[in-house]
A and B are shown apart, each in its own frame.
Chain A
Amino acid sequence: QKEVEQDPGPLSVPEGAIVSLNCTYSNSAFQYFMWYRQYSRKGPELLMYTYSSGNKEDGRFTAQVDKSSKYISLFIRDSQPSDSATYLCAMSANRGSTLGRLYFGRGTQLTVWP
């Protein structure tokens, strides 16, 4: 079993829909939780970052972390065709100099159609 599980989709929604993306994990040492967006044939780019449990909002994006359930979510409001991409959850533990070592889910492919 992988440390981070993510449904690969694909997920297809109409423009304006609310999108919910989720990941579960097994390692209770994870403290830092991120969502990356990856367009086709590009590198991942950081969308949202949260530390420990709680919510964080940035424009149309909201990230939620529930450490008790080992479950994280990303919500996209008023989705746009430009949001069409693969969304990767990632997490890391506080391990000193390798803090930046990330454990990724396999990504959820999202298509927003006009």
Chain B
Amino acid sequence: GAGVSQSPRYKVAKRGQDVALRCDPISGHVSLFWYQQALGQGPEFLTYFQNEAQLDKSGLPSDRFFAERPEGSVSTLKIQRTQQEDSAVYLCASSLDGQGNTGELFFGEGSRLTVL
């Protein structure tokens, strides 16, 4: 498809397990963002890539969270030793260019993580 694709759509993990969430952005989009959306809240910024370079990771809540985009297209968000407070929808978004764009992000449908 032409949109941002995320997998898995739903993930249930036991506390302490590691999880990996995948994002396939729109082809040719330079910028890629990860956001975390808790129930009843707006999305909160986690991290930003311009091609393969992670230019901003100030929103990652702890060192258990790690993101990569090694070839400048597909990105993976990894959460180690999951905790219950990590339960949220993880949204990936891409945009054509990070320089001078209008902030128009195209979001995927999200990966809903539930930690038991």
* A residues lining the B interface (CB < 8 Å): 4, 6, 8, 32, 34, 41-46, 49, 51, 88, 90, 92, 96-107
In addition to A32-B102, A97-B48, 5 A-B residue pairs with Cβ atoms within 8 Å of each other are A46-B106, A90-B103, A99-B100, A100-B98, A102-B105
Report Cα–Cα, A77/B101, bound state, in Å.
29
Q: Tell me the bound Cα distance from A103 to B98 in angstroms.
A: 16
Given known contacts A42-B109, A100-B48, A105 and B56 CB-to-CB distance under 8 angstroms: no
Q: List the A side residues contacting B40 at CB < 8 Å.
A: 8, 106-107
8 A-B pairs with the lowest CB-CB distances in the bound complex, closest first: A104-B42, A43-B107, A106-B42, A97-B98, A92-B103, A32-B103, A43-B109, A98-B56
* Contact yes or no, B91 A101, CB < 8 A: no
Segment 58-116 of B: residues with Cβ below 8 Å from A: 91, 93, 95, 98-110, 112
> Given the interface contacts A49-B102, A98-B55, A99-B103, does A104 sit within 8 Å of B109 by beta carbon?
no
Nearest-CB residue, chain B, relative to A42:
B109
Report whether A99 and B99 are in contact in the complex, using a CB–CB cutoff of 8 Å: yes
Q: Considering the chains assembled together, what is the distance between the CA atoms of A29 and B62 in angstroms?
A: 27
Partner of A88, one of B4, B42, B48, B102: B42
Among B42, B91, B101, B110, the residue within 8 A (CB) of A100 is: B101
Give the Cβ gap from A94 to chain B, nearest Cβ, in Å.
9
Let me know if B55 and A6 touch, CB within 8 A.
no
A46 to B33, CA, bound (A): 15
Do A100 and B103 touch across chains, with their CB atoms under 8 A apart? yes
Residues of B within 8 A of A8 (CB): 40
Chain B contacts for A100, CB-based, 8 A? 31, 33, 48, 93, 95, 98, 101, 103, 105
**Inter-chain contacts of A88 with B (CB < 8 A):** 42-43
Distance between A35 CB and nearest chain B CB, rounded to angstroms: 12
Bound together, the chains give a CA A7 to CA B55 distance in angstroms of 32
Determine whether the beta carbon of B103 is less than 8 Å from that of A102. Answer: yes
Chain A contacts for B31, CB-based, 8 A:
100
